[in-house]
Chains A and B, each alone.
Chain A
């Protein structure tokens, strides 16, 4: 029997499960499907906008936490975020995540905006948008999700966060990823870039078009399994190379997801995939087991502690019915943030929709609380997107919240079960 059951395999669930398993606890990780990490840009956002652009995310989250006790960072706290970010970086290693949690990077997006993020993949660093940079953005004729012209033109007309400007032009080349395909996905290209032969052909086609001093911006497809593929391409070209993340299938997110899944397996986490938790059994005020809708017959997973890392509305963790009633779909937990007036207003280009900050409120060890602030169950913890109080995608705080709360919940459980 597992001592802990973690529900959800996004960044929060994976981080919590690995930390618990490495602390010596038997852990089962149940998930309905792959989490949102794979769809992300493969970077770690801690705090990007508040609502103005943030330069020092840890300092800014401290300020925010003090001013807004309902924000997840108020219960998670700076220390847990720092240790969560460091833990994740250490888990995946410097071939996948680098950066200084105290300072944001500014990296180009696939529409040529300048995005603040905290940790990034080393393959992205040469794209830092700083005064005086000189970029050539290279599109691939058969990869439709990377508008090189738009990206270069937008970057070139933007006043950068540091007040300076950069130069950017664009090129489009045609090197097929595989024969007979005129519309290839980023993933197909990433697999091709794992192959030295393809990289050689690609470099040969691109090199004559480069001029001295160019940093080469490419779609983030420079290798799926070979984490050095971008570096080898850079060496072959003799130019700095950087990846710009694409919409899904997003290769940098995939790399992180695969690496964490492998780490979970290696740590001895029992992975039960493709399975929805449908309900919980509570005895004497504690969660005794969760029930999973397994093929054939339902199955119970009993444990001593449970981590709810099921995400938000986007993953089905929260739902709203046609009467506007909101529910947390497994435990029926009380939801915070419902008192913010009209939860969905009609002005879709205007202010945030308060609905998306609805979630569970937690205390300092990440246990969901009721309206009075008392833990609902002494052995149920929550982490990640399920927490109330943040507009994670516009603040760029989703990953920081996830790893901070995951580490805090895991550590509380380790203390409790020790």
Chain B
């Protein structure tokens, strides 16, 4: 694979939407990073403005402080793809001096595979200060940054061992996409998603699947990311033609729905085929409900719970399906965080030079979560859950856990 992604990023797409910018500053007002640090000069400044001066080389290195949360694109009234433009410019800027750290932390599957067999050990190691200090010094991963908890059993391990589902399928077949985190770390979320789908009457196929390449993309490793995402498309397509693909990994779904195409310029038909078929787990349930096909025989759950819609989910432009579905549960009061971002933005908040910024970005959210319910918060994407849990001290689950409970499955 040659540098097609970078070529695209450097020359083509970025500029297409540039001239739509009217300098209204709406993106600047919404940017959660510029709000907390002067090190990032803001999305308009490093984006549509600086882009005019870029000719291969970057003129403004504060671009590296953009977290790629995508809020700027979301709020832009003129359709300028500011976040995409900035991700592309950063990939080009970093291409000749890619830090080892950024290559390492974007290998999500590798991390999972390496950690699962030694889970207790890995977990223990990740909580040992001196080890984390060394990791910070050598690799630049902040010692207090949230790390996933390794599990002793992978999702596929569970699938192999579990008894066949009790209920016979009544609704047809769906493909389940779990993402790397859902395969190795957030195994419970994947299990619960599959069980809810089966409870609803679907036959669930879980094909062997690799990484979507999102972390590589957000770290500017476009070639590797493109290869990953296309391999994943092959994996998912192998499960059957035209089937709906459901995923409880919100960020990876975003990668398949639009980022691979919009940021890296992947136009492969395999990606298109997957992009139109994939649904976020909660989006899938919401659509069923809209169609009058979601059983709402939920058990009451008397609780007030904070819910945070992650940036990656907002960028998919589908509203907040989790809130709509959760509100069908009697007794449950769902309080939307109203916060822009938790700060982590994939791997941004792990980096030692960005850790403090990411914590400041997430502060209003952590405060809100603690104040709303010190025992439980809900959020759709993995790294955001790890960040919220670590920084607020409040255990944070995928919304499907609540649905699973309300259906009496746990």
Q: Which A residues lie at the B interface, using CB under 8 A?
A: 1, 28, 32-36, 38-39, 178-181, 185, 187, 191, 248-249, 254, 262, 265, 270-276, 292-297, 299, 314-316
Contacts and interface: CB of A to CB of B under 8 A. Distances in A.
B87 to A, nearest CB: 15
A33 B78 contact: yes
Contact of B315 (A179, A187, A295, A315): A295
6 contacts: A249-B26, A270-B320, A272-B317, A294-B316, A295-B275, A296-B316
Q: Please provide the 6 A-B residue pairs with the shortest distance between their CB atoms, ordered closest to farther.
A: A33-B77, A296-B257, A275-B317, A295-B258, A274-B74, A272-B319
A121 to B, nearest CB: 17
Contacts of A179: 38
A295 B254 contact: yes
A296 B79 contact: no
Contacts of B24: 39, 248
Interface stretch (B27-35, B166-174, B388-396): B27-35
Contact of A187 (B28, B256, B314): B28
Contacts of A316: 77-79
A36 B77 CA distance: 9
A187 to B, nearest CB: 6
B35 A34 contact: no
B3 interface: no
A248 B25 contact: yes
Contacts of A293: 317
Nearest to A296: B257
Nearest to B319: A272
Given A181-B38, A262-B338, A295-B258, A276 B79 contact: yes
Given A32-B77, A33-B78, A297 B275 contact: yes
Contact of B338 (A254, A265, A273, A275): A265
Contacts of A39: 24, 26
Interface of B: 22, 24-26, 28-30, 35, 38, 42, 73-79, 254, 256-258, 275-278, 290, 314-320, 324, 336, 338
A178 B75 contact: no
A346 to B, nearest CB: 23
Contact of B29 (A181, A249, A274): A249
A274 B75 contact: yes
Given A273-B317, A299-B318, A33 B257 contact: no
A34 B318 contact: no
A262 B29 CA distance: 16
A274 B26 contact: no
Nearest to A251: B29
B324 A274 contact: no
B319 A271 contact: yes
B278 A35 contact: no
Contact of B317 (A38, A180, A270, A292): A292
A294 B74 CA distance: 12
A191 B45 CA distance: 19
A36 B42 CA distance: 20
A276 B73 CA distance: 12
Nearest to A297: B276
A191 B29 CA distance: 11
B76 A254 contact: no
A251 B278 CA distance: 40
Contacts of B25: 185, 248-249
Contacts of B77: 32-36, 315-316
A296 B30 contact: no
Contacts of A273: 74-75, 314, 317, 319
B29 A254 contact: yes
Contacts of A191: 35
Nearest to A272: B319
Contacts of B318: 272, 275, 294-295, 299
A308 B38 CA distance: 39
A34 B38 contact: no
B76 A33 contact: yes
B79 A265 contact: no
A187 B25 CA distance: 10
